[in-house]
Each structure stands twice: as C-alpha cells, then as structure tokens.
Amino acid sequence: MNKSKKYRNRSGTLRKRKLVSEAEPINAPIHIRELDKLRITVVIDNHCFTDQNDLPVVEGLISKPTVPIHTEHGLSYVVETTVDKETTLFLFDFGFSPDAVLKNLASLHVSLGSIHAFGLSHGHLDHWGGAVATLKAHRGTDPKNTVLYVGKEAFAPRFIGQPWDTPSYLGQLDIKQLTPICKLAIKHVTGPTEVIPGGYLSGTMERITEYEKIRPFFLIARNGNLEIDDFKGEQAMVFAVRNKGLVILSGCAHVGIVNTVKHAQRITGISTVHAVIGGFHLLDSTMEVIRKTVDDIRFMTPDYVIPMHCTGYEATARFYREMPEQFVPSTPGSRFTFLA
C-alpha cells in the first residue's frame, strides 16, 4: 500500500494550513558563551575534492590520499568547542547511510567515544539515515548517558510530491528504533538551547524575508493528514567566537539561510557574522531568489561563506562570483577552525 494514502483527509486532498512557523517568543537575547576555538569537521557532504590546502580557516583534508572518503547526498558534522581550555565534541546530523558516516568517522580518526552528545537538524532521511547505527556504535564505546537533541516533528513521516499527484514517501526516523538503545535520552528543543559548552541549537526559527518561501512539494503527516511541511522544528547551530562574531551552522536551511542568520542575530543580540556554513537549500530556487539570498548574505559582511550539500550549483557559483574573498568550498574531510 502506498504510504501516502493513509494520510489523506476525507476529501482526498491535502489539508491547507497556515504556512508560517510558530517560532518560540524571544523576550531577550540569550547570554551566549563565547568560544576560544571552534572546529567543524565535515563528515558527510555531497562533493569530494582535495585542493583545499591553501584556503583560509581550512586545515586541509585530515584523511590521507590512500584513505577512502565517502560522499553522498547528505550532511554530518563533528563540532568541537573549546572554552577555558576544555574541548567538547558534538555530532550534528548523521548523513544518508550508516556505512558512509561510520566509515568516514573512522577514516577521519574521530572516535565515537569522544562524542559527548548528538543533534538532528530535521527529519529528512539524508540527515538521519545513519542515526540508529551511529548511536548503537556509540553505545558500544561509551558507558555514560547519551543525549540526542531533536526539534519538533523530527519523527514524523515525510513525503515529497504535489497535491494532485501521489506523493513519494521519504521515510521516517522511528523513535521505537532509538528507545531500546541503552542510556539514550531524547530531548526535544523548542527555544535556543545550549547542547555543549558554547554550542547552541537555534530553537524554532521564524520566517521574516518575503522571498524565502515554503516549498509546497515537501509534505509531512500530521494527525493522520498530509500537510505542507513548514519545517517548524528545523534546527541550526549557533556559536560566538570571542572577538570574531557569530558562526552559523545549517543543516538544510529549509526556512531560508537568511532567516537562519537573522534568527541567530536576534537570539544572541550579536550582529557581527564571522561565518555562515552548511546547506542553504537553493538548488530548486529561481535565479531571483538566489540573487536576493546572496545579496542579503553579502550585506551581512561575513568573513567566510561555506555552502554545502543542498545549496546547488547555481547558488554556489554565485556566492563564489559575488563573494570571492569570503567563499570557501567544502568537502568530506574538511576541517574548519575558527580562533578567537
């Protein structure tokens, strides 16, 4: 049976709903802990190349040419924050497949036992596909309690398609597969939340720009009905590097990468942007939306822009043309280091 059929409403059509995320109210900026050092290692990304050695903030591939690095349509990062000489590690997203994320972690010499906590940006398969296997493998290396941070609707069934067609099933991260993993606690994030020292999940992000619109072909099952997905549970990560400004790390930026950065500025009270990194989800956008996005990011004057994953060729090329001094490419195995 097609999984989309059991989520139809009585009329057989997709139910309409308000297409604006209901962000948690932000009464005052959070008191963000500033970092002495932030290091982001890319475990999974879509494209692989090796000519990064002379780029700013990039330590180069930490794998050797003889060690395989797997690429796939997905994302996964290891985040390391250093405050007062203490370093803490966080795994943000799990890629599309268990083999890729586990093999790349091994190739990059990242021990699962060194990971203090885990987070998921949103409920699409290319971000949670390796979750169950990774968390099980982590349980075998570390006897301590483990926390997985997720946003709203992380475990909801997802689909892609059009209201007049039969949508395709995109999968569902089943919480029943996670609950048997010993000493795993699942924490749901609504507002800005510190998950490791100096590393914050964004909480629910508000849509402000007029051009970063909800895509009607992304669907979600809610209360037995298929609805247009507004990604109200999507999470980004936010950091503040001392004397440098904000670093924003995105999963897919379904709410829009400009909205994501503006949200980070709003919740922290910090306007200076040091780096914008991650999937910008512009691969299916018009040239007009891409132009407006690049213009707005450029207006924010970040020191570095590092597009990945779902950004798309046209948008990546425009970032390179319009912001050549700030543009840095990414590949699995890249290690970006930001120092105070």
Residue 222 has a pLDDT of 92
Q: Which of 314, 218, 295, 288 is CA-nearest to residue 257?
A: 295
Helix axes 313-322, 287-299, angle to 10 degrees: 40
Q: What pLDDT is stored for residue 21 in this prediction? A: 36
Separation CA 261–CA 274 (nearest Å)? 11
Domain range list for the chain: 31-339
Nearest alpha-carbon partner for 291 in 262, 268, 323: 323
The predicted-structure confidence for 229-280, as pLDDT tens digits, reads as follows: 999 999 999 999 999 999 999 999 999 999 999 999 999 999 999 999 999 9
Query: Residue 318 contacts by C-beta under 8 Å, 6 or more apart in sequence?
Result: 290, 291, 294
In DSSP notation, 150-212 reads: E-TTTTS-EEE--TTS-PEEEE---HHHHTTSTTEEEEE--S-EEEETTEEE--S-----SSS
Question: Do residues 305 and 327 lie in contact, with contact meaning Cβ atoms separated by under 8 Å?
Answer: yes
Strand-pair partners of 219: 159, 228
DSSP 128: H
Superfamily in which the 31-339 domain is placed by CATH = Ribonuclease Z/Hydroxyacylglutathione hydrolase-like (3.60.15.10)
Q: Which residues of the chain fall below pLDDT 70?
A: 1-2, 4-28, 50-66, 142-143, 163-164
Structure letter (DSSP) for residue 309: G
pLDDT digits 0-9 by tens, 281-316: 999 999 999 999 999 999 999 999 999 999 999 999
> What DSSP string runs through 234-295?
---EEEEETTTEEEEEES--TT-HHHHHHHHHHHH----EEEEEEE---TT--HHHHHHHHH
Indicate the pTM of the whole model: 0.90
pLDDT score at 162: 77
Per-residue tokens: 177? 């597969």
- Position 22 scores a pLDDT of 40
